[in-house]
Amino acid sequence: MAGTASQASLLLQKQLKDLAKNPVDGFSAGLVDDSNVFEWQVTIIGPPDTLYDGGYFNAIMTFPQNYPNSPPSVRFTSEMWHPNVYPDGRVCISILHPPGEDPNGYELASERWTPVHTVESIVLSIISMLSSPNDESPANIEAAKDWRERRDDFKKKVRACVRKSQEMF
């Protein structure tokens, strides 16, 4: 186990260094605590021309000791109203689901986690999720209902999240 954890640690340190050297538009990332490379603080800038435009949304990305063989978990610490974000802030997108066949049959194995994903590809997938919600298998049923049936209510709740994120920033 120690060998796996040290390999994961080295890979995460490399990804952190790469992001510091070559920042990516749309987000910033760093360690929550310099002594723990397995927990990252990520700030996602609301994508332009979306309901989240102008927002600054913080999230914690927690990596398992066997990364990249298993996916990290991502949880927004900023308030977020979105069909693919659980009420407690956990992000629900296919690439964060464990590798292999979906026991519920909703996703293809090719849509789920693979070790080729990086912090950058994960966050870019989350930004894409903000741009186009998937209401087929929602994590937040109420947000999905608003998205489908009460779009004005959905927009109002997202605008409130954006305003709140700007105040916190």
Which are the catalytic amino acids? 92
Beta bridge partners of 41: 30, 60
| Centroid of chain to Cα 88 | 13
Listed as own residue / partner, the contacts of 152-160 with beta carbons closer than 8 Å and 24 or more positions apart are 154/51, 154/81, 155/51, 157/81, 158/51, 158/52, 158/81, 158/82, 159/51, 160/79, 160/81
Contact status, residue 21 vs residue 78, Cβ threshold 8 Å:
no
